[in-house]
Structure 1
């Protein structure tokens, strides 16, 4: 564990880039060999707006990276945060607990809040209006959302007290799980189910991309499924019944145009409630 921690504490930017780009390429190939849904689309045309938003996310995260470094330096220098206030523990437990808590504050909580606050939901909506969820959908986030997500990560660093090694490990795992859970690949149902008891599985997350409530407001997790199960936001839906998109933004052509997606957070509409 010490070797892993030391590696991520000093992980080269090149290695992080390879993880992102290599993952996209790998799952792109797997989607052709083991597709979950046989989309009738031109894959590159569909990918273009999603890759554009992937690039804006990278630029924003890179531009704000100094805040992340300053935050991790501060919590360690001041012995601040949950994992620093707990009794001395083995390194493996320290790392696992740090990643687990960062996943809550940086991913689950951020995602939950984005669905519950109308203004933030409109920003996050860009991610949900993809009608063919695949590997490129994972980083389809409006630039405003990239800033929001980064802010929650910083908040998590302070609350958790995570050093940079744990933060980079968490971010690397986050990239892997984002790619896995959005990729249009068919995993054996039993294997997917077993994975979902601890981690977010592909089928579990795709329920979140179903086009109507209450499924859209469920399964918020990114790495660990414990948070959805603990807070009652876990839901199941047979993957064959999943329809991607959002019912109140059904225009697939508009939802595939960068200029329309950039404007989407500022469109006025009333989000429907769950019919009982």
Structure 2
């Protein structure tokens, strides 16, 4: 464990880039071999706006990385933060708790707030208006959202007290997890269900991409599913009933245009309808 943390404390930028590229490539190929849904689409054409947003996310995170480093150095030097106030524990438990709590503040809480605060929902909408969810959807985030997510991650580092090694480990795990949960791959429902008791599984997250409430406002987890289960935001829906997108923004052509997606956060506010309103 000490060797692992030492590696992530000094992980080269090239290695971080390779994790991203290799992850997308692996799940891209897997989608072709065992697809969950047989999408009738030009995969590269669909991927282009998503890969653009992946690029902007990478640029923003690299540009602001010094804030993470400085915050991590400060909490470490001052023995500040939740995991540093707990009784002495084995390194593996220290790392696990650090990743677990970072996942809450940097991902679950950020995601929940984006769905509940009207202007933030309009920014997050770009992620939800993909009608063909696949592994490239994982980082389909408007640049404004990338900044918002970074702020929540920074808050998590400060409150949890995580050193830079744990932060880099968490971000690498998060990257792989999101590519996995968005990937259009078919796996056994029983295995998926088993995974979902601890980790976010593909079926669990795809419920979140259903186009109607209350499913859109559920399953906010990123790596760990326990936050949804503990806080009452966990929901299930048969995979065959899932319809991707947002019902109040149904135009797939518009939602596939990079120009329109960049403007999407500034459109009039329309929240997905509740199932009860359709009856």
Partner of 2:241: 241
Alignment match, 1:28: 28
Gaps of 5+ in 2: none
Aligned length: 276
Alignment match, 2:183: 183
Note if 1:81 corresponds to 2:81.
Answer: yes
- Give, in whole Å, the separation in 2 of the partners of 1:165 and 1:32: 35
- What does the per-residue CA deviation read over 1:75-134, in whole Å, with 9 as the maximum and x for residues that have no partner? 001111001111111100000000000000000000000000000000000000000000
Shift of 1:8: 1.1
Counterpart check, 1:128 vs 2:128:
yes
Which ranges in structure 1 are unaligned for 5 or more consecutive residues?
Answer: none
Give 4+ residue runs of structure 1 displaced > 3 Å after superposition.
none
Offset of 1:271 from its aligned partner? 1.9
Distance 1:273 1:180, change over 3 A: same
* Deviation of 1:226 (Å): 0.4
Cα deviations across residues 216-268 of structure 1 (Å, max 9, x unaligned)?
A: 00000000000000000000000011000000000000000011001000101
Measure how far apart 1:11 and its partner are. Answer: 1.2
1:166 aligns with 2:166: yes
Q: Distance in 1 between matches of 2:53 and 2:188?
A: 31
SS class of match (2:15): helix
Structure-2 change in CA distance of 1:207 and 1:275 (3 Å)? closer
Following superposition, the deviation at residue 272 of structure 1 comes to 4.7
- Partner of residue 96, structure 2: 96
Alignment of 1:6 with 2:6, yes or no, is: yes
- 1:42 and 1:114 map into 2 onto residues whose CA distance is 30
What RMSD in Å do the two structures reach over aligned CA positions?
A: 0.8
User: Which residue pairs with 1:214 in the alignment?
Assistant: 214
User: What is the CA–CA distance in structure 1 between the aligned matches of 2:47 and 2:92, rounded to whole Å?
Assistant: 38
- Deviation, 1:270, is 3.4
CA contact (8 A) 2:218 2:233 kept: yes
Query: 1:101 & 1:61 partners in 2: Cα distance?
Result: 20
**TM value normalised by structure 1:** 0.99
- How far residue 51 of structure 1 moved from its aligned partner, in angstroms, is 0.3
Alpha-carbon deviation of 1:273? 5.0
Offset at 1:14?
1.1
Distance 2:16 2:64 in 1: 16
Deviation at 1:274, TM superposition (A): 2.6
Tell me the residue number matched to 1:55.
Answer: 55
Instruction: Determine the C-alpha separation between the residues in 1 that align with 2:264 and 2:9.
Output: 38
